[in-house]
Structure 1
Amino acid sequence: MSDVWQLVVIGAGAAGLMAAETAAARGLRVLLLEKNRRPGVKILMSGGTRCNLTHATDKWGIVRAYGDQGNFLHSALAQLDPPQLVRLFEDEGMATKVEDTGKIFPASDKATDVLAVLMRRLERSGAVLALEEPTSAIAHDGEQFLITTPNRVIPAEKLLITTGGMSYPGCGTTGDGYAWAEQFGHTIVRPRPALVPITTPDMWVKTLTGLTIPDMLLRVVPAATEPPAAGTPPTEGKPKKGKAKAFLAERRSSLLFTHFGLSGPAALDVSRAISGEEKPAQLKLVCDFLPDIKLEALEEQLKVECTTGGKKQLVAVASRFVPRRLAESMLDLLGLALESRAAELSKSSRSQLALAMKGQTIRVEGTRGFPKAEVTAGGVSLKEVDSHTMESKLRPGLFFAGEVLDLDGPIGGYNFQAAFSTAKLAGMSV
């Protein structure tokens, strides 16, 4: 048998395991290199150790979720879309479940079951897995790739980089693949944390630690500009051609107040707009805690409540609309006494309270960075990768898949789906 591997895959995460198995099952001689002591470390810790492997949608739902990056995924999703991915795992005996949010998890709530399926498929394919063997250098001698590790120099006809991004660096995802891609002429879109909690200097936010708002609309806007009008529906705040954008990002979902700032799906999904700014303190968040009620209607409801329940304390009236702890903070910020009677609330103060419920602003400090980020925004430029094969347009025989690419989607299993799909396509194309 030749010493030259037909394919070497670097990085045994979700993408690497899928790609190596797919290529080996086609009869190729495949080596999968992993620097950690065990494969799939990020799989095991994702989703609170439950692993949200995909979302209950079709390929078009994934494409839409990725926005401008979505078109790149058409061919990958043609190879492996969400229903096909679910079927792949269920055919291996792993039952799945769909939660109310559309997230799909193993029915056992154990990420270990996801990894076990991938490992069984890898072993069955005949691919060779080498653990605790980090790649220190990559070269190309004109005929083949030469991958250097502490143990050997490995020749390969083709090379697939699936090293991930820089999120959760404790998993070993420290951006190794970017330097190798640059070595072959690839452009690296600046990596930055995404799906990461947001920090704020506002102490009132931190006093609400542990409070969850199940349904609200969160927007990121430049601090020096007026926020979108209270009650503006999602996406309708976007400008017409030639006009300044009203906001940088928005998400309607649940929000969690923490000791450092904000977390939960709404905060995580808009965080890439903050980490992408050189001076995040020049941004602010605008919170609509009652997205289904128009401002005018809310003011009228407050008026009715204050009139019919005039003897009630103001905090009791406000608590009919938002959680009591949040109501107390809002009244305090407005300088309104919690124990004052509702009937004493002036028209001006009533309008201010309604505006706070529909457009409370929070100052931005930044994010919690890569150590707390679920994914990485940025990476190998999609313009330089053939979306039909995942092969480099600059170096024949070099392929990419997974988070090392400039692909990052919203929370909810979209990122694992993209990793599995791009890896499947790469494994079929090498």
Structure 2
Amino acid sequence: MPQTSEVWDLIVIGAGAAGMMAVQRAAELGLRALLLEKNRKPGVKILISGGTRCNLTHNTNVAGILEAFGEQAKFLRPAVREFPPERVVEHFHQLGVATKLEPNGKVFPATDRAYDVQQALWKSLLNSGAEAVLGEAVTQVNREPDSWLVTTAMDRYRARRLLVTTGGCSYSGCGTTGDGYAWMRELGHTIIEPRPALVPLTSPDAWVRELTGVTLEDVVLRAVPANFDIDCTDVNERLARVRKGATITRRTALLFTHFGLSGPAAMDVSRAVTRAEQPSDVQLVCDLLPDETVESLESRLQHECQQQGGRTTGRWLSELIPQRLAVAALERLRLDALGRLAELSRDARRGILRELKSMRLRVDGSRGFAKAEVTAGGVCRDEVNPKTMESRLVPGLYLAGELLDVDGPIGGFNFQAAFSTGRLAAQSVRNAN
């Protein structure tokens, strides 16, 4: 058991992905490193991630990872270059965790068990010579002239340098309750308002909620300003004129639920909703058939009206999209699903094309931090040196993982950022000793 009188080279607070990676690396480099975790077991959030499968990283290169983070890429570049996706995979192979690659680029443990990832990190940490104290919540962090004093409910610990990897507020039931934000504020850091990201969205429209269980495997979903005029004929041209950063576009699967929308598409664009002053300031526009052009669909519909005019509109539309969604779309247009194609007016045909290529989906909020996979916001990136992960304001203080104002899309990108920043922080502490 660590003694209060000991002075550690490094104390790491938080046994998540970034914290466990960091403390193992620190000990491997010869530092006397101690990990403090308030939960009774480490890596709780890892265990439930990816539907308990744990999407470790993404099958891409450094440029691909950075592109996924958009404006945050510049900050992450040194860390990801130091520990890129291929090295993450190699690292876990060395720890005995074989991986597999899925067609969408996601990298998972071959066993599909997040437990194997958590155990590999934990055992490698213990084998490295690092020490860990579980079930002790840190209550206070104090900077002293030549060391850090970290107080828990049961003890006090001292270290020459401190790394905070307490995460954000997402999946708060796992213990990620934003503890680190208060300590960082007390130390002078700016906290960008934390908000849920990669979170399911709620809808005020009954027709959306009544489609519970309908899954669209391949759509293009856009989050755009609420005043964006939807017209499928020139949506891409007008999107190009919207202020950069005001829209988010994702092509992947969308799921209708009893509360609104979920699945990778909705969760990836959710940050646009949660960062808006009001959720109603944002609307979602969905292209249900991204491989079809408006012109090809218009031609097909016109041909069907002329050559197969006796067919019902509902049956024709159900060949393109799920039947329940087809019926809902026609009801929105006030068209009879049993009506004949030959009876469709020009305006009715345009309405159908609009539903297929630019369906409007209203949202009024999210499921909040309890259901969010990550947290957007956190410690301001400008106040942290990206080459070392050391605070620019407080010497000897390092930060990594989700505590920082860094969040990426679904696909293993956020674990990649956690592993890379945690490892870089540990190496920087070693270089500073």
Cα deviation, residue 181, structure 1: 1.0
Q: Please point out which of 6, 17, 38 is paired with 1:35.
A: 38
Does the 8 Å contact 2:201/2:270 carry over to 1? yes
1:150: which partner in 2? 153
Task: Provide the rounded CA distance (Å) in 1 between the counterparts of 2:246 and 2:234.
Answer: 14
Matched, 1:119 2:132: no
Matched, 1:53 2:53: no
Matched, 1:366 2:369: no
Matched, 1:334 2:336: no
Task: Provide the rounded CA distance (Å) in 2 between the counterparts of 1:38 and 1:87.
Answer: 25
Query: What secondary structure does 2:252 align onto?
Result: strand
Query: What secondary structure does 1:372 align onto?
Result: coil
Task: Provide the rounded CA distance (Å) in 1 between the counterparts of 2:16 and 2:246.
Answer: 35
Matched, 1:6 2:9: yes
Runs of 5+ consecutive residues of structure 1 not aligned to the other structure: none
Does the 8 Å contact 1:384/1:392 carry over to 2? yes
2:194: which partner in 1? 191
Task: Provide the rounded CA distance (Å) in 2 between the counterparts of 1:280 and 1:93.
Answer: 45
Residue deviations 1:107-135, cap 9 Å, x none? 10000110111112101111111000110
Cα deviation, residue 288, structure 1: 1.1
Query: What secondary structure does 2:135 align onto?
Result: coil
The equivalences for 1:22-421 within 5 A come to: 22-227=25-230, 229-230=232-233, 232-233=235-236, 237-239=239-241, 244=243, 247-421=246-420
Task: Provide the rounded CA distance (Å) in 1 between the counterparts of 2:143 and 2:19.
Answer: 21
Cα deviation, residue 247, structure 1: 4.9
Task: Provide the rounded CA distance (Å) in 1 between the counterparts of 2:245 and 2:112.
Answer: 40
Task: Provide the rounded CA distance (Å) in 2 between the counterparts of 1:38 and 1:56.
Answer: 30
Does the 8 Å contact 1:231/1:358 carry over to 2? no
User: TM-score, normalised to structure 2's length?
Assistant: 0.95
Task: Provide the rounded CA distance (Å) in 2 between the counterparts of 1:170 and 1:192.
Answer: 16
Query: What secondary structure does 2:297 align onto?
Result: helix
Name the aligned partner's letter for residue 34 of structure 1: E
Query: What secondary structure does 1:39 align onto?
Result: coil
Cα deviation, residue 296, structure 1: 2.4
Task: Provide the rounded CA distance (Å) in 1 between the counterparts of 2:26 and 2:419.
Answer: 13
Task: Provide the rounded CA distance (Å) in 2 between the counterparts of 1:230 and 1:98.
Answer: 38
Alpha carbons of structure 1 residues 326 and 9: separation in structure 2 relative to 1, 3 Å:
same
Cα deviation, residue 137, structure 1: 0.4
Cα deviation, residue 24, structure 1: 0.8
Query: What secondary structure does 1:256 align onto?
Result: strand
Residue deviations 1:349-398, cap 9 Å, x none? 11111111111112111111100000000001110101010000001100
User: TM-score, normalised to structure 1's length?
Assistant: 0.96
Does the 8 Å contact 1:228/1:247 carry over to 2? no
Does the 8 Å contact 2:314/2:337 carry over to 1? yes
Residue deviations 1:159-182, cap 9 Å, x none? 000000000000100111111111
Moved more, 35-44 or 134-143: 134-143
Does the 8 Å contact 2:99/2:109 carry over to 1? yes
Residue deviations 1:166-216, cap 9 Å, x none? 000001001111111111111111100000001001111111111111111
Cα deviation, residue 326, structure 1: 1.0
Alpha carbons of structure 1 residues 314 and 357: separation in structure 2 relative to 1, 3 Å:
same
Q: How many residues align?
A: 426
Name the aligned partner's letter for residue 120 of structure 1: K
Residue deviations 1:300-332, cap 9 Å, x none? 111112222211111011112222111111111
Does the 8 Å contact 2:231/2:354 carry over to 1? no
Task: Provide the rounded CA distance (Å) in 2 between the counterparts of 1:207 and 1:230.
Answer: 28
Cα deviation, residue 79, structure 1: 2.0
The percent of aligned pairs where both chains have the same amino acid is: 53
Moved more, 148-157 or 189-198: 148-157
Name the aligned partner's letter for residue 188 of structure 1: I
Cα deviation, residue 237, structure 1: 2.0
Cα deviation, residue 246, structure 1: 9.5
Task: Provide the rounded CA distance (Å) in 1 between the counterparts of 2:318 and 2:262.
Answer: 22
Task: Provide the rounded CA distance (Å) in 1 between the counterparts of 2:206 and 2:409.
Answer: 28
Does the 8 Å contact 1:221/1:227 carry over to 2? no
Cα deviation, residue 141, structure 1: 1.9
Does the 8 Å contact 2:287/2:357 carry over to 1? yes
Alpha carbons of structure 1 residues 246 and 316: separation in structure 2 relative to 1, 3 Å:
farther
Runs of 5+ consecutive residues of structure 2 not aligned to the other structure: none
Task: Provide the rounded CA distance (Å) in 1 between the counterparts of 2:41 and 2:295.
Answer: 58
Task: Provide the rounded CA distance (Å) in 1 between the counterparts of 2:201 and 2:173.
Answer: 20
Does the 8 Å contact 1:230/1:288 carry over to 2? no
State the superposition RMSD in angstroms: 1.6
